[in-house]
């Protein structure tokens, strides 16, 4: 399988800022958003071993799940097309009268869309065996690539940098697959910080902790923060939007409102409140997702 992305484009962008100078904290941003215009960010890493597996098992294609503006679906659709695999996207809810830009785009990459009622989709675990029976020649990639193979792919993100030079590695967390991969790759003395984009309780046994913990070599190896979801998954406030616009203006860093905008906001707040000791060196993973900003009304962001 040839690699569709260009990982040499994943530059490390240092951020200089009065706050960071004053707190003696350094931040570098790993620009995974630049590796491909469509198969962007962390999605390629989470997908690559699933794709390999589908090809090895001689499957006809990949079946996976996503929402109307899913970064995962669009990346999967094009990666499959380029690997000569068919693809099916399962979407929760009724087919809307007008498809989102993202769903139109996945169809351009020959992904077949199937809409499943919310009642049925409520229990993803239950529908998977049913779908597998219906589509025996398709390899099923769970929502967000969340599986051990997804974690192993995500762990390779750490190899794109001089990872040992950082005290902390920070990323956004949806399913926690990327977070688990970075925890898996981290050195024992490093801490991986996850900023939850979901509104979930800060609980030892929540979905993120349950998934990520087995990959940690010690309890301090990762920390998840839950106060930066801005109302919940794919929710936003004017404060977040204006933070994203000023981040772009000041640092030439475009962010998405679902994940990376919240990541940067959260990390900045942690710096302001002295979570990081002076001398800390942070790597922030820009995990892509900019295509999702198309769901915002025109003019919301000063960039796109
Ligand atoms: C999918 C996605 C995430 C979440 O990754 P998980 O592995 O599900 O936690 C984070 N950032 C961006 C931009 C994404 O598209």
7-40+154-295 and 43-145: same fold? yes
Pocket-testing residue among 33, 42, 289, ligand 1, by greatest number of atoms within 8 A of Cβ? 42
CATH architecture of 43-145: 3-Layer(aba) Sandwich (3.40)
Q: Does residue 123 surpass a pLDDT of 90?
A: no
Within 13 Å and on the Cβ side, how many CA atoms surround 299?
0
C-alpha of residue 46 to centroid of ligand 1, in Å: 9
Active-site residue, 70 included: yes
Cβ-based neighbours of 72, under 8 Å, separated by 6 or more: 43, 46, 64, 65, 66, 143, 144, 145
User: Average pLDDT, stretch 180-199?
Assistant: 98
Instruction: Give the number of residues written for the chain.
Output: 304
Query: Closest ligand 1 atom to the C-alpha of 194?
Result: 9
User: 27 and 20 in contact (C-beta within 8 Å)?
Assistant: yes
Query: Closest ligand 1 atom to the C-alpha of 173?
Result: 9
User: Average pLDDT, stretch 36-55?
Assistant: 97
Look at residue 88 in the predicted model and tell me its pLDDT. Answer: 98
pLDDT tens digits, 268-282? 999 999 999 999 999
pLDDT tens digits, 242-270? 999 999 999 999 999 999 999 999 999 99
Q: Does residue 185 surpass a pLDDT of 80?
A: yes
For ligand 1, atom 14, which residue shows the shortest CA distance? 289
Look at residue 54 in the predicted model and tell me its pLDDT. Answer: 98
Question: Among residues 124, 160, 155, which one has the least CA distance to residue 141?
Answer: 124
Q: Which of 70, 147, 197, 280 is catalytic?
A: 70
For ligand 1, atom 4, which residue shows the shortest CA distance? 174
CATH class for domain 7-40+154-295?
alpha beta
pLDDT tens digits, 293-303? 999 999 999 99
User: Average pLDDT, stretch 78-96?
Assistant: 96
The proportion of the chain whose per-residue pLDDT surpasses 90, expressed as a percent, equals: 94
What own/partner pairs with CB < 8 Å and gap ≥ 24 does 217-223 have? 217/188, 218/188, 220/191, 221/183, 221/186, 221/188, 221/190, 221/191, 221/192, 222/179, 222/183, 222/186, 222/191, 222/192, 222/193, 222/194, 223/191, 223/192, 223/193, 223/194
pLDDT band for 95, please (50, 70, 90 cuts): very high
C-alpha of residue 71 to centroid of ligand 1, in Å: 8
Q: Does residue 125 surpass a pLDDT of 80?
A: no
Q: Any idea where the domains of the chain sit in the sequence?
A: 7-40+154-295, 43-145
User: Average pLDDT, stretch 21-26?
Assistant: 98
> Which residues does ligand 1 sit against, CB inside 6 Å?
41-42, 71-72, 144, 172-179, 256, 259-260, 287-289
Look at residue 304 in the predicted model and tell me its pLDDT. Answer: 79
Q: Does residue 87 surpass a pLDDT of 90?
A: yes
C-alpha of residue 235 to centroid of ligand 1, in Å: 15
Q: Does residue 289 surpass a pLDDT of 90?
A: yes
Cβ-based neighbours of 123, under 8 Å, separated by 6 or more: none
C-alpha of residue 42 to centroid of ligand 1, in Å: 6
C-alpha of residue 289 to centroid of ligand 1, in Å: 8
């Amino acid at each position: 399988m040839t690699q569709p992305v260009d990982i040499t484009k994943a530059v490390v962008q240092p951020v200089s800022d009065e706050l960071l100078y004053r707190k003696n904290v350094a931040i570098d941003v790993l620009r995974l958003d630049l590796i491909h215009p469509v198969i962007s960010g962390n999605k390629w890493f989470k997908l690559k071993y699933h794709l390999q597996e589908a090809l090895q098992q001689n499957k006809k294609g990949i079946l996976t799940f996503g929402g109307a503006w899913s970064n995962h679906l669009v990346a999967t659709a094009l990666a499959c097309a380029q690997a000569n695999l068919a693809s099916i996207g399962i979407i929760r809810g009724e087919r809307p009268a007008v498809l989102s830009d993202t769903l139109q785009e996945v169809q351009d990459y020959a992904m077949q869309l199937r809409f499943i009622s919310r009642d049925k989709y409520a229990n993803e675990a239950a529908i998977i065996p049913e779908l597998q029976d219906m589509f025996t020649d398709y390899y099923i990639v769970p929502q967000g690539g969340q599986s051990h193979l997804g974690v192993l792919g995500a762990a390779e993100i750490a190899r794109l940098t001089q990872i040992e030079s950082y005290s902390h590695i920070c990323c956004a967390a949806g399913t926690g697959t990327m977070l688990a991969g970075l925890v898996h790759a981290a050195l024992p003395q490093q801490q991986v910080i996850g900023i939850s984009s979901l509104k979930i309780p800060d609980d030892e046994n929540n979905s993120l902790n349950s998934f990520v913990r087995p990959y940690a070599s010690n309890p301090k190896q990762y920390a998840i923060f839950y106060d930066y979801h801005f109302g919940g998954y794919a929710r936003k406030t004017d404060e977040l939007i204006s933070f994203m616009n000023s981040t772009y203006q000041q640092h030439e860093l475009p962010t998405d409102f679902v994940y990376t905008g919240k990541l940067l906001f959260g990390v900045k707040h942690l710096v302001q409140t002295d979570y990081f000791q002076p001398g800390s060196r942070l790597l922030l993973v820009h995990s892509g997702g900019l295509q999702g900003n198309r769901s915002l009304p025109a003019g919301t962001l000063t960039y796109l």
